[in-house]
Amino acid sequence: MAIHRFVPTTWHNVLGSLPPALRVEDGDVVITQTIDAAGYDKDGAARCPGPNPMNGPIFVAGAEPGDALVVEIIRITPIRATGWTSQVLAANVIDPERVRDLPPRNRTDWVIDLEALTARLADPVQGLENFILPLEPMIGCFGVAPSLGQAFSTATSAANGGNMDYRGFKPGTSVYLPVAVPGALFFLGDCHAIQGDGEIVGTGVETAMEVEVRLSVRKGYKLRWPRGEDADSIFTVGNARPLDQALQHATTEMLDWLTSGFGLSPIAASHLLGQVVRYEVGNVFDPAYTMVCKVERKWLPRI
Amino acid sequence: MAIHRFVPTTWHNVLGSLPPALRVEDGDVVITQTIDAAGYDKDGAARCPGPNPMNGPIFVAGAEPGDALVVEIIRITPIRATGWTSQVLAANVIDPERVRDLPPRNRTDWVIDLEALTARLADPVQGLENFILPLEPMIGCFGVAPSLGQAFSTATSAANGGNMDYRGFKPGTSVYLPVAVPGALFFLGDCHAIQGDGEIVGTGVETAMEVEVRLSVRKGYKLRWPRGEDADSIFTVGNARPLDQALQHATTEMLDWLTSGFGLSPIAASHLLGQVVRYEVGNVFDPAYTMVCKVERKWLPRI
Amino acid sequence: MAIHRFVPTTWHNVLGSLPPALRVEDGDVVITQTIDAAGYDKDGAARCPGPNPMNGPIFVAGAEPGDALVVEIIRITPIRATGWTSQVLAANVIDPERVRDLPPRNRTDWVIDLEALTARLADPVQGLENFILPLEPMIGCFGVAPSLGQAFSTATSAANGGNMDYRGFKPGTSVYLPVAVPGALFFLGDCHAIQGDGEIVGTGVETAMEVEVRLSVRKGYKLRWPRGEDADSIFTVGNARPLDQALQHATTEMLDWLTSGFGLSPIAASHLLGQVVRYEVGNVFDPAYTMVCKVERKWLPRI
Amino acid sequence: MAIHRFVPTTWHNVLGSLPPALRVEDGDVVITQTIDAAGYDKDGAARCPGPNPMNGPIFVAGAEPGDALVVEIIRITPIRATGWTSQVLAANVIDPERVRDLPPRNRTDWVIDLEALTARLADPVQGLENFILPLEPMIGCFGVAPSLGQAFSTATSAANGGNMDYRGFKPGTSVYLPVAVPGALFFLGDCHAIQGDGEIVGTGVETAMEVEVRLSVRKGYKLRWPRGEDADSIFTVGNARPLDQALQHATTEMLDWLTSGFGLSPIAASHLLGQVVRYEVGNVFDPAYTMVCKVERKWLPRI
């Protein structure tokens, strides 16, 4: 097991079958610094235009179509004392006639306290004088190359991952992604210091991070949609519009997990989901919305 | 302040401008026993056909259009040792092509332990031998008469409330409903012993409950959509399809609350929501879906 | 067979189980004058507030739940030389971020030429100097009382009809509505001199009309959603959001018609629909959208 | 102006920035034979796996980002006496609970009469004995490379075109596509002998065709979504889910065309669209649905 310090020199605005920037073995750890959603690095230097420039792709030896790439999120450390957000709700999350009254979508600067691990607005805003947020670092956009030679903008998401903006993609979480090409071709970037559900202003607190992940291959672990787990829960992810369809994808993937992976019948899986399922909302700003279907481990059968 | 023990003799399958079954003063408490979603009472006797028969309506003196009816949920006590659910996921929550493989939508019986306050499947199901659920009693369907002389089936929901099936409608929560007719005309029923997010098998654990609520009037408190609060959070509720639109309604209502009620500018409200909002999923089975937009009190400005 | 000249003295903003304003026999003809969507009559006098005041309800003898009410639209004659529209696209039919740029939703006056049977803007608008539209009179809102004692605002639509705003509801068309209460309780109003697909400014050219319909009962003709036919085609109507669901309802109803009514197997019906179906868009402004599924008679099996 | 007979030797399942198979000048005509959606050619030989193998890409000299590629569809000639369809409605176009009853999605063979220009089922189906369809050849899937180095499966569609399955893409129609890369990189394939609206069985009558198109560049003609025109009408195309969003994209693009291209104010454009717009439904089977917004030329201002 090796630890790679990956320093990208180019970045990508798509997840696709691009030439690998790094090759790692199954189980290796990668430490890399991500630039922000607009392409500014930890020193505030513009490195790449947006949207959401990605580090990568990383070729993981042994990953083949039909396997899952396991992304263990070990650490996300803020490395810049500034962040930024959009200042106003996205037009698509409020009632259409009310969009007329929205202020413009300007950017707002934030101060990130790298010692206290908090974020606050750089300029005072009435009523938010005490709005100091503990950081909850997360990876906004990550995924693998999709099938068929497709390549998707990092402004959206699909079965291969992408810009899901789910708060649960944080240290302690492992994510399973469906491998579609040899080596999986893993990308990551667009980290947030903190973000509410849905990324409803169109941004989290966008900043630069140092991320540490372990990449491994689970052979023959077929998935249609991303899966994940942490100490307490397992979850599945659907990316689509409308949110109803994202929910259908996530729920179907969880049904498959409970039946194939935990040996439940469809009826037993329905009983379990019906009474204990939790849904969490990822991105509802991008072309594809993200819905997470979650079950606490304590309800799962022992296997 | 009076306490009314309300024993209905008829039930209703709509929320509408029906003759009051009870009249109470602003601030009175009502204790009443609800029958289950299919109309069976605590003794298992059929009292009314479904869907979701309602106790009520209750006329609250002083409530006028433009006010809010405040429903303080004080207590929900299970009063029957049996419950039931549907045995299988609803067709609309999984990928359409997968519906072909679903088992039929039969009912399953549950045992409710009124001492231990738990629920379990009446008949053993492989893999769920230890699936014993602590009760989390909630009101599935409640609301007030809608405007214009409209009347809506208790199988759906709208701005006046209805079959929202949100787990947060539990003891300790107060709900604000937009009054559209004199006396508000409050209805309630369809209580669940427990239920996962979304009510995705089309039922919670359906049973009979004794419910205690305080009904009061908040004069001139104009709402478009239900609002609520508990010790920790405030929330708003949107009911519509697709879920995207329910989310728009809930988010717009929260924007209005934060600006009109807490004095934030639209930009300040956006900053707050953007980084700390939480969404929770109510019913995604009925014609109208339910999305809840929630903010923890700790982030709110002092007013 | 009698002809009734029905002169309403009150109007209704809901379709529901209200006391009949007229009783007719199966097969009778009703001639009645409708007021416009905002409640102004042919003389410009305000008779009832909006939305979409309805004439009715009309009790049709013999109609029982499980039957269909057949509404044969014989004639729609404009009776006022003025109409009005909204001046701008509805916010929900354009991309959300673009709503910021929309002009306000003011009203615009139109001139209706009752001899030439044309409509034009009352005040000149650059580029539309020659925009003179032949009238295509249609009924915007009509339907029967829904089931369960429900009552729905005339601003929306459902299985019982309502504000469908479909251009095909014009003379020569017969519509089948699912009867849910004894006498069916038929309502109509909100006629348009002309209207584009979708009613995307939120109005057609709103005006007063004289409408002549024949109302008859088709016993035991069970429907879930409205059906219709004219000389060339048969069609079904779904009312829901999103438009995808309206399309599902309409397509399912057509599948049922082709199988139950025309004796096709599901596979044969699929072949037919797959290669010759036509969809037409009704209202996409209201809470429920309307999609029409249409098949030309020439493709139907002889029965 | 040259005429190119383009005989592909490889096909593609994505629209993306692939090496050009042919280079043409602005205004050249291309004649090429397409294979069917499953990759079978005019002789029934398998040439490429599905979905929807594309001929191309064709590099059009002079096309640059910010221009439009004009695709004039001159001719689509059937070149195989056989076609095939799916035998049953797609699960996503009917009510979810009804999917349980659908027959399996097997294929059905069709006979194409290349002289009479008709299509009929190869094997008799009860009730469809006389179901002989005049051919209405159309291009199911075509488009240009998307921006950012993206590449999209030919099973879906986006702003760059793709699998739109709109009946209006037939001889006599010119289509404008937004150029995102030098040379535009044009692809086409997946022709249908005939198809109903929505491609609701998931296929048209899939077959091989000879297609003749003229490709030219309209410099500086900025589009967000495809536009088209024929002798009678102009139209715009939105590709997204739900259909509501496809309709928003198409309507916004038409608003832009009427204002920028025809000099109407937003209010004048709204008047025009509000009373004369027509919507037509393209694909409602794929991940992205297609809605067409259409205006007859006779209503357009002279420019």
Q: Which chains touch B (3 or more CB pairs under 8 A)?
A: A, C, D
DSSP string, A269-284: HHHHHHHH-EEEE--S
Categorize the per-residue pLDDT at D302 as very low, low, confident or very high, splitting at 50, 70 and 90. confident
- For D93, which residue in chain B has the nearest alpha carbon? B96
Distances (CA, A) of B65 to A81, B80, B161, B183, D124: 51, 37, 15, 9, 64
Residues of D engaging B, defined by a Cβ cutoff of 8 Å: 90-92, 96-97, 99-100, 102, 242
Bond into C51 cis (ω within 30):
yes
Categorize the per-residue pLDDT at B1 as very low, low, confident or very high, splitting at 50, 70 and 90. confident
Residues of D engaging A, defined by a Cβ cutoff of 8 Å: 12-14, 16, 147-153, 240-242, 245, 287
CA distance D239 to D258: 20
Distance from the B126 Cα atom to the nearest Cα atom in chain C, whole angstroms:
36
The yes-or-no verdict on residue A303 having pLDDT over 90 is no
Closest CB from A92, A99, A242 relative to C100? A99
Model pLDDT for residues D86-100, shown as the tens digit of each residue:
999 999 999 999 999
User: CA nearest C259: which of C217, C298, C301?
Assistant: C301
The yes-or-no verdict on residue C62 having pLDDT over 80 is yes
User: CA nearest C209: which of C33, C75, C55?
Assistant: C33
Average pLDDT value over all residues in chain D: 98
Distance from the C278 Cα atom to the nearest Cα atom in chain A, whole angstroms:
24
CA distance A7 to A14: 19
CA distance B65 to B56: 19
DSSP string, B79-142: --SEEEEESS--GGGS-GGGGGGPPP--EEEEEEETTTTEEEESS--TT-TT--EEP--EEEEE
Report pLDDT for D1.
84
Q: Tell me which of B97, B101, B284 to substitute to probe the interface with D (most D C-beta atoms closer than 10 Å).
A: B97
Closest CB from B243, B267, B271 relative to A242? B243
Model pLDDT for residues A15-56, shown as the tens digit of each residue:
999 999 999 999 999 999 999 999 999 999 999 999 999 999
Report pLDDT for C302.
85
- Kind of pairing between the strands at D22-24 and D54-60: parallel
Report pLDDT for C197.
98
0.95 exceeded by pTM:
yes
* Non-local CB neighbours of A85 within 8 Å, separated by 6+ positions: A107, A108, A110, A201, A203, A204, A205, A206, B271, B274, B275
Q: Tell me which of D95, D207, D245, D302 to substitute to probe the interface with C (most C C-beta atoms closer than 10 Å).
A: D95
Average pLDDT value over all residues in chain C: 98
The yes-or-no verdict on residue C1 having pLDDT over 90 is no
Instruction: Please give the interface size between B and C, counted as residue pairs whose CB atoms are below 8 Å apart.
Output: 42
- CB contact (8 A) between residue D248 and residue C95: yes
Closest CB from A153, A240, A241 relative to D150? A153
The vertex-A133 CA angle with A132 and A136, nearest 5°, equals 165
User: CA nearest B85: which of A230, A267, A17?
Assistant: A267
Closest CB from A92, A100, A102 relative to C102? A100
Distance from the B206 Cα atom to the nearest Cα atom in chain D, whole angstroms:
22
User: CA nearest D206: which of D8, D62, D37?
Assistant: D37
Closest CB from A108, A194, A277 relative to B196? A277
- Kind of pairing between the strands at C107-113 and C118-121: antiparallel
CA distance D171 to D68: 19
The yes-or-no verdict on residue C303 having pLDDT over 80 is no
**Residue D285, SS3?**
coil
The yes-or-no verdict on residue C123 having pLDDT over 90 is yes
Distance from the A238 Cα atom to the nearest Cα atom in chain C, whole angstroms:
19
Check if the beta carbon of residue B86 is closer than 8 Å to that of residue A274. Answer: yes
Categorize the per-residue pLDDT at B27 as very low, low, confident or very high, splitting at 50, 70 and 90. very high
- For B100, which residue in chain D has the nearest alpha carbon? D100
Residues of A engaging D, defined by a Cβ cutoff of 8 Å: 12-14, 16, 147-153, 240-242, 245, 287
Q: Tell me which of B13, B148, B249 to substitute to probe the interface with C (most C C-beta atoms closer than 10 Å).
A: B148
Closest CB from B93, B121, B275 relative to A251? B93
Model pLDDT for residues C191-223, shown as the tens digit of each residue:
999 999 999 999 999 999 999 999 999 999 999
Instruction: For chain B, list the domains and their CATH numbers.
Output: 3-81+135-218 (2.60.120.580), 227-299 (3.10.28.20)
Calculate what percentage of chain D has a pLDDT beyond 70. 100
- CB contact (8 A) between residue C96 and residue A102: no
Both tokens assigned to B249: 């309604």
Check if the beta carbon of residue B112 is closer than 8 Å to that of residue B83. Answer: yes
- Amino acid at site A277: V
Report pLDDT for B301.
94
* Non-local CB neighbours of C262 within 8 Å, separated by 6+ positions: C269, C300, C301, C303, D127
Check if the beta carbon of residue B38 is closer than 8 Å to that of residue B80. Answer: no
Check if the beta carbon of residue D277 is closer than 8 Å to that of residue D233. Answer: no
